[in-house]
Amino acid sequence: MVLTVFSDFQSMSPVLQVVVFLIPFSHPMMIMNSLLMDQTLLVVGGLVYMVAFALISIYVTVRIYNSDILLSGWNKMDKLKKSLGKK
């Protein structure tokens, strides 16, 4: 984030641009400068990336916390299969 505050995104090397662009928290820092310089493609790309990152993070979090493995070390389906197999 410090790189995007004190330097221009366009003046960075291409490798550094990719690294900074992959960090989702750097996009809000780049938006104001990009809007002032009329670089709407960078703004839209950043917004799409932040929304995708948020949705993927929410999906992974829901998948982790919906399973019993996290709390008890057991899976619901394993318990169900064992109980049905014993009958």
What are the boundaries of each domain within the chain? Answer: 2-86
Q: Rounded distance, CA 30 to CA 45, Å?
A: 11
Judge whether 34 and 47 are in contact, CB under 8 Å: no
pLDDT in tens, the chain (87 residues): 565 566 677 788 889 888 888 888 887 888 887 888 888 888 898 889 999 999 999 999 888 877 666 566 666 666 667 777 755
